[in-house]
Amino acid sequence: MLRQSIRSMVTTWLTGLLALLPLVLTLALLAWMFSLLNTLVGPSTLTGKLLGALGQPFASNPVLAYLVGSLVLLASLYPLGLAVQLGLRRPLAWLVDMTLRRAPLIGSLYNLADRFVGLLDRSKNADIAAMSPVWCIFGGDGAAVLALQPNPETFELDGRQYSAILVPTAPIPVGGGLIYVPVEWLRPAEMGVEGLTSVYLSMGLTPPHQAGRLAKEPVVVVDDDKAS
């Protein structure tokens, strides 16, 4: 009886700990991020001193000068963004390709950072968002793979209709292997691109049945020859 009571108390305590743990980890992550930002661009860093010097003509207090300099820097991002929208993106991309991307170590780091920032840029991911998540059942009753269907159009190969799918090869489904499979292998995955992304981001920890379910009906395809 005593052992059961102790086990019940420990179970209850662990339940409370698990309920509080996500909040604690979130706060710890935020504290680490603020600490990292303060280390990188705080008032005592070289970047912070440059921002303070930028705001010095407008404020005599060093802290206030740092804040003013930060606001000036943030305000300067608007004309830069406007210039990129008006056609500066290609010259900047060409300059980066000719300099940073060709450096052995810096190029790898820049490519990683550029890929991460690309996840936040909806305009870069517009093509991915327009794709349809599908299940590809290899052989019709074999292994199942979550994939993206770029478009429902098909083509005929040896008297059989095929469709293109993109199978992500990284946790972020912004690229992958392009495979042409028979259309009868495909089933609509009743989830959005966000649901498919969550499955790949979790590296399989998020079960697919929580993001969608396998439909029994094949994917509806468009036959160009019959349509014309």
pLDDT at 163: 92
Q: Which domains does the chain have, with CATH numbers?
A: 1-121 (no CATH), 132-215 (2.30.30)
Query: Burial, 156: exposed, middle or buried (Cβ in 10 Å; 0-12, 13-18, 19+)?
Result: exposed
pLDDT at 46: 80
Instruction: Give the pLDDT confidence of 66-113 residue by residue, as tens digits.
Output: 788 788 878 887 887 777 667 776 777 777 777 777 777 777 777 766
The enclosing H or E element of 49 equals helix 46-55
Instruction: Give the pLDDT confidence of 196-212 residue by residue, as tens digits.
Output: 877 877 777 777 764 44
Rank 4-18, 80-94, 96-110, 137-151 by mean pLDDT and report only the highest.
Answer: 137-151
pLDDT at 192: 76
What's the CA gap between 4 and 92, in Å, rounded? 68
Q: 228 pLDDT exceeds 50?
A: no
Model pTM above 0.85: no
User: DSSP letters of 144-188?
Assistant: EEEEEES-SB-EEETTEEEEEEEEE-SSS-S-EEEEEEEGGGEEE
